[in-house]
Structure 1
Amino acid sequence: MSADDLGSKQKTNVPPTDFAPSTDVWYSDGSVVLVAEKTAFRVHGTILAAHCEVFKDMFAMPQPAVPDASTETYEGCQVLRLQDSPTDLKHFLKSIYDFSYFRPGVTAKFPVVAAVLRLGTKYDAPALRQRAIDLLATAYPLSLEAWDARATKRLVPPFEDELTAYIELAIESDIRAVLPAVYYAASKTPLPDFLDKLHTLRVAPSVQWDVCRAFVVGRERLLQAEPAPTLAFLQSEFPRPGCQNGSTCTNQLNLSVRRVLPQASSSELYHQWCLDNPDKVGSALGLCTACQATVATSITDGRKKVWEQLPGFFGLPDWATLEARDGLGSSHD
């Protein structure tokens, strides 16, 4: 038999494959082929084991000297078929192989962060999982200061329907630190609209019910808690040290009580405006400079008190417990 005949016979004996090599992650010297749906990724078992405890344990198991018929191989490499999406697996593997692809403290799109978090949790890759949590916490942070700065500081850009996407990811990957801020943002949207979105959550029905209940109850607690500390400056006994206009400021505040309290109790618009514009409230009321500063400080302090209670409104542990639970320190605020 000629060499050409032998080569032809060997090729015909190669079992057919039902997958195509990835155009993003395929190393010719790799030792293992990971298959997700119809896409294959050829990688190195040693590198996977160095990052993921699940793969480390898997590859530490003794392998037979001669693969049996049940062992699938491709070009001499072990084939592992995974129940992951090809896109998620691509993002995860590129994050392992290319440090610049998923760097700490650098902007990353949500699908990349979510993929790394999902598979980092599934395959026990603690460093990558924590990096993903850190990035998510810049979008929905633990501190009020970080919340106020998130428009310019968040490292995961906003996208449509992100609130429900964050909730789904938090439930799936067992993180809770981002949920209070997510629920806080959702509480500022019309309730019927957000409830409709919660009913589309891709989670178990019992979990969906728990989320809906936690949100509705927490939203009610939040809206009940906000007005009193926010509008404390309208109380007759509210101290205004250093007031420059005396009775003039007092009269303006008394007039404001009669004008804005009915509006605040019926529509909640005024107290929300105060929360959003603490530095403008005193000026809008015609108060002296000293009283303007006092009112702004009072509103800001009221916001801080409500924020400290925020996790509890939604049935979650306090901020310190959430911070420790999900590996977040003050440097991540």
Structure 2
Amino acid sequence: MTSSSAKRQRTEDAPIARSEIWHDDGSLVLQAENTQFRVHWGVLSLNSPFFQNLKGLPQPPDQPSIEGCPVVELPDDAADVEYLLKALYIPTFLMQKKLPFPAAAALIRLGRKYDFKDVLNTTVERVTFENPATLEKYDALIVDRGRYGPRSILNYPGILYDMLSLAREHSIMSVLPCAYYRAILYQPTLIFDGTPRGDGTSTVLATIDQRRCVQGREKLIKAQFRVGYTHAWVRDRERLDCIDSEGCDTLRARLLDRFLDTLSLWALCGPTVELDTTVKQLCHSCATYARESMESGRKKIWDELPSFFDLPPWSELTNDL
């Protein structure tokens, strides 16, 4: 395989570095950018039909070699190739409780490109775990005062946007509704401005993701107060079984004003500590209704979540791997 002329020029201009992944008994040298890796045809062929077929192709007479090993140039980042080879050669690499996101992204990119199915599927499982397709699994990941923190991928500022971009770019469709929802829970300006990762780079959403986020957020803010949805109880002031209409109406009006003033998105929010404090101030009948409304309404929101982002229904969001 040959790289683009620009990348090949950079390779020719810079000295070649030997990676730590260099097996003296290897039968093949992979070169990505200016880094070489000595590995085994057998290991690559066992895990990838692509490399199995490549091994069987006749080598050109001018094929470069090192100590009798053919050099195969890959048009990929050297760091990505190193992550892939670590996954193949180091048994504990994929057993890490939390995998660095750059590693996960590399394994999905190269796993799809070169048909390393086991590596690909194992890594996709982490991304789908973090962005589940059921409300029960979504709730299970909310632990810190109603906040979410990744459990199988190392956390850092901007990871929500990075996971969203990765899932869309590689057609991991079941991830998208949850990923879009998480992406719009914070300051709307971040959707356009991006988020510094803390390493000198920033994560910025693509135009299609920005549009879906903005439109989805507006739709959800409006929907959360409609009849049958999460916070319909805030607007319902005609409850015949209310025993403190003046007090309950005042509390609901105050909370509605707060929603409208801040344009808060609590469409999937259940009775949090903060909300529950307000709910407890309602009369028993209104408090019961509020909790029931939140529980049934957030389930309705979840069932319809893909539609808010112009996606097909859950049943059609398959992962095209």
- Give the TM-score, by structure 2 length: 0.79
One-letter identity of the residue aligned with 1:20: A
C-alpha distance in structure 2 between counterparts of 1:317 and 1:201, whole Å:
26
**Structure 1 counterpart SS, 2:18:** strand
One-letter identity of the residue aligned with 1:285: Q
User: Does the C-alpha gap of structure 1 residues 230 and 114 become closer, same or farther in structure 2, counting only changes over 3 Å?
Assistant: same
User: Does the C-alpha gap of structure 1 residues 50 and 260 become closer, same or farther in structure 2, counting only changes over 3 Å?
Assistant: same
Give yes or no for the alignment of 1:163 onto 2:157.
no
Give yes or no for the alignment of 1:230 onto 2:230.
yes
Q: What's 1:188 paired with?
A: 185
Q: 2:140 aligns with which of 118, 142, 149?
A: 149
User: Does the C-alpha gap of structure 1 residues 168 and 227 become closer, same or farther in structure 2, counting only changes over 3 Å?
Assistant: same
One-letter identity of the residue aligned with 2:170: S
C-alpha distance in structure 1 between counterparts of 2:104 and 2:269, whole Å:
35
CA-CA distance at 1:117 after TM superposition: 0.7
**Structure 2 counterpart SS, 1:177:** helix
Q: 2:99 aligns with which of 100, 103, 108?
A: 108
Aligned residues: 292
CA-CA distance at 1:310 after TM superposition: 1.3
Contact 1:118–1:172 (8 Å) recurs in 2: no
Q: What's 2:319 paired with?
A: 325
Q: What's 2:123 paired with?
A: 132
Give yes or no for the alignment of 1:287 onto 2:287.
no
CA-CA distance at 1:139 after TM superposition: 2.1
Two-structure CA RMSD over aligned residues (Å): 3.0
Contact 1:274–1:281 (8 Å) recurs in 2: no
Q: What's 1:217 paired with?
A: 215
Give yes or no for the alignment of 1:51 onto 2:43.
no
Q: What's 1:312 paired with?
A: 307
Unaligned runs of 5+ in 1: 1-16, 240-245, 328-333
Q: Which has the higher helix share?
A: 1
Give yes or no for the alignment of 1:263 onto 2:261.
no
Contact 2:271–2:294 (8 Å) recurs in 1: no
Give yes or no for the alignment of 1:93 onto 2:85.
yes
CA-CA distance at 1:293 after TM superposition: 4.4
One-letter identity of the residue aligned with 2:219: R
One-letter identity of the residue aligned with 1:86: A
User: Does the C-alpha gap of structure 1 residues 299 and 171 become closer, same or farther in structure 2, counting only changes over 3 Å?
Assistant: closer
C-alpha distance in structure 1 between counterparts of 2:260 and 2:151, whole Å:
34
Contact 2:280–2:287 (8 Å) recurs in 1: no
* Percent identical: 29
C-alpha distance in structure 2 between counterparts of 1:270 and 1:133, whole Å:
28
CA-CA distance at 1:41 after TM superposition: 0.8
C-alpha distance in structure 1 between counterparts of 2:271 and 2:320, whole Å:
29
**Structure 1 counterpart SS, 2:156:** coil
User: Does the C-alpha gap of structure 1 residues 168 and 274 become closer, same or farther in structure 2, counting only changes over 3 Å?
Assistant: closer
User: Does the C-alpha gap of structure 1 residues 271 and 106 become closer, same or farther in structure 2, counting only changes over 3 Å?
Assistant: closer
CA-CA distance at 1:155 after TM superposition: 0.9
C-alpha distance in structure 1 between counterparts of 2:149 and 2:158, whole Å:
20
Contact 1:275–1:300 (8 Å) recurs in 2: yes
One-letter identity of the residue aligned with 1:28: D
Deviations 1:178-211 (A, max 9, x none): 222221112112222321229x7678xxxx3322
CA-CA distance at 1:28 after TM superposition: 1.3
C-alpha distance in structure 1 between counterparts of 2:277 and 2:214, whole Å:
30
CA-CA distance at 1:56 after TM superposition: 1.6
Q: 2:35 aligns with which of 32, 39, 42?
A: 39
Instruction: Map residues 13-24 of structure 1 onto 2, 5 A cutoff.
Output: 18-23=15-20
One-letter identity of the residue aligned with 2:192: L
Contact 2:133–2:314 (8 Å) recurs in 1: yes
Deviations 1:215-256 (A, max 9, x none): 2212211222122222233424668xxxxxx65355543333
